């Protein structure tokens, strides 16, 4: 199939028009340009910017976490690459200060590994999650690589490889003093990784925080679940798996393209996105620059998508959404049974959004029924009232409602 190639061809063909729209938007809004004095210039500028933003390419956004406020003081933050594999980077956001008391306090703070989803968006979608955690923790995060940038000679990358990557990162940081937070998709492979480590007698993290993920997708199925169950795996292989074109380092690699995933995101709530873009146009015409800039920031992140390795995508569809191997106790990785009941010493917190339309209510809480080896006193579940999927890890509700509970839970098991 040539869909990816046609997508690239159309994108390149439209590029001059998209760039011209950007130039027009600036010309008709710049007070130093005579064009801005013409009747209707504000509408022409707004319309051209909207066209530009609808058609432009969105690259991976930067993390832009350069400082964090700790106890009223602004502390510089430096992004460090700890481990680099072909498909993932382990990053640490390290805080620096010259104040002796602050240094001593920060050394005692718990280490947290945030496992970002590999489900279409870049890890920077968790920027607010990471920035908030930095107030009280040493923070590491997984940054998955866009598969179209990974040369084909690096080989395949499946769900089993994802699990192995998480195991390696946990070992490198040190499980004895580590707390792991998984957001959405990685709740499944993270639980698998810790289950396998526990079954082998390895040290496991002090706590697991699982947020809005499909541990058991049979509960409260959403549109995401319905798509995966109404079509056989062969349909996904034949219709959504494509080959990376020659313009990219990953030329020849089979992937699930990010532009298809993005189309799926939009299709879930088309009217909401339409109204958001209409409001953006209206804000520009009115001169409401604050709201317009808020729209830009959101869609700069939301529209930046990555390709997923075909093997990983198909493994996830089959294992998580079609055969439900984890909750059924039938998932084996390289001959080892994934048995969450093997986890004995790790505390478990599950978090769900009341209005989550991606991972329905009960899907994440199902982890508690599987982790029967964890003492009941170490189980905790939170349903966040009024929160959708993104609200449990980003935005005001995350910072003011969810995070205090997460912080206190981690602190409880940090010693």
Q: What is the pLDDT of residues 249-269, one digit of tens each?
A: 999 999 999 999 888 888 878
271 Cα distance to chain centroid:
23
Decide: 194 and 129 in contact? Cβ < 8 Å: no
Whole-number pLDDT of residue 264: 83
Whether residue 145 is predicted with pLDDT greater than 60 in this model: the reply is yes
Q: What is the mean pLDDT of residues 379-384?
A: 97
Q: How, if at all, do strands 88-95 and 138-144 pair?
A: antiparallel
Alpha-carbon distance of 299 to 276, in angstroms, equals: 10
Alpha-carbon distance of 62 to 154, in angstroms, equals: 25
Whether residue 1 is predicted with pLDDT greater than 70 in this model: the reply is no
Whole-number pLDDT of residue 7: 86
pLDDT > 90 fraction of the chain, expressed in percent and rounded: 77
Whether residue 26 is predicted with pLDDT greater than 80 in this model: the reply is yes
Domain regions of the chain by residue span: 3-57+258-302, 67-232+308-412
Whole-number pLDDT of residue 404: 97
Q: What is the DSSP track for 78-137?
A: EEEEEEE-SSEEEEEEEE----HHHHHHHHHSPEEEEE---SSB-GGGGHHHHHHHTTTS
pLDDT in tens, 152-197: 999 999 999 999 999 999 999 999 999 999 999 999 999 999 999 9
pLDDT in tens, 13-22: 999 999 999 9
Q: What is the mean pLDDT of residues 392-402?
A: 95
What's the full length of the chain, in residues?
A: 415
The chain-wide mean pLDDT, for the chain, equals 93
Decide: 300 and 293 in contact? Cβ < 8 Å: no
Whole-number pLDDT of residue 224: 82
Structure tokens, 262: 């993005």
pLDDT in tens, 65-77: 999 987 777 889 9
Alpha-carbon distance of 386 to 397, in angstroms, equals: 9
pLDDT in tens, 206-248: 999 999 999 999 999 888 888 888 899 999 999 999 999 998 9
pLDDT category, 363, cuts 50, 70, 90?
Answer: very high
- Give the CATH H-level superfamily of domain 67-232+308-412: Alpha/Beta hydrolase fold, catalytic domain (3.40.50.1820)
pLDDT in tens, 88-130: 999 999 998 877 777 777 888 999 999 999 999 999 999 999 9
Per the DSSP assignment, residues forming a β-bridge with 113 are: 140, 180
pLDDT in tens, 331-354: 999 999 999 999 999 999 999 999
Whole-number pLDDT of residue 194: 98
């Amino acid at each position: 199939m040539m869909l990816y190639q046609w997508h690239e061809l159309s994108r390149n063909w439209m590029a001059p028009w998209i760039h011209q729209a950007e130039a027009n938007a600036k010309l008709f809004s710049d007070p130093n340009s005579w064009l801005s004095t013409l009747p209707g210039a504000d509408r022409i500028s707004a319309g051209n910017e909207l066209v530009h933003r609808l058609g432009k390419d969105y690259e991976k956004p930067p993390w832009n976490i350069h400082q964090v406020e700790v106890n009223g003081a602004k502390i510089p933050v430096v992004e460090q690459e700890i481990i680099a594999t072909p498909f993932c980077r382990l990053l640490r956001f390290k805080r620096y200060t010259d104040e002796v008391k602050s240094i001593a306090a920060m050394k005692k703070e718990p280490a947290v590994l945030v496992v970002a989803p590999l489900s279409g968006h870049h890890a920077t979608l968790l920027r607010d999650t990471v920035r908030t955690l930095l107030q009280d923790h040493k923070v590491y995060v997984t940054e998955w690589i866009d598969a179209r940038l990974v040369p084909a000679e690096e080989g395949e990358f499946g769900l089993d490889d994802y699990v192995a990557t998480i195991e390696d990162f946990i070992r490198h940081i040190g499980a004895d003093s580590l707390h792991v937070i998984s957001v959405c998709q990685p709740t499944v492979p993270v639980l698998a990784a810790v289950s396998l480590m526990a079954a082998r007698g390895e040290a496991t993290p002090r706590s697991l925080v699982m947020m809005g993920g499909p541990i058991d997708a049979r509960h409260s199925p959403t549109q995401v679940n319905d798509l995966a169950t109404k079509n056989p795996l062969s349909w996904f292989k034949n219709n959504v798996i494509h080959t990376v074109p020659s313009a990219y380092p990953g030329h020849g690699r089979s992937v699930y393209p990010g532009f298809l995933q993005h189309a799926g995101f939009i299709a879930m709530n088309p009217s909401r996105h339409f109204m958001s873009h209409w409001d953006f146009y209206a804000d520009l015409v009115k001169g409401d620059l604050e709201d317009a800039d808020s729209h830009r920031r959101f869609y700069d992140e939301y529209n930046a998508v990555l390709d997923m390795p075909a093997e990983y995508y198909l493994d996830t569809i089959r294992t998580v959404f079609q055969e439900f191997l984890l909750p059924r106790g039938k998932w084996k990785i390289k001959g080892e049974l994934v048995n969450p009941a093997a986890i004995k010493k790790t505390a478990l917190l599950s978090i769900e959004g009341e209005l989550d339309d991606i991972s329905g209510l009960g899907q994440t809480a199902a982890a508690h029924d599987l982790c029967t080896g964890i003492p009941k006193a170490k189980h905790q579940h939170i349903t966040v009232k009024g929160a959708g999927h993104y609200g449990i890890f980003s935005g005001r509700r995350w910072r003011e409602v969810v995070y205090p509970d997460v912080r206190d839970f981690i602190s409880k098991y940090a010693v």
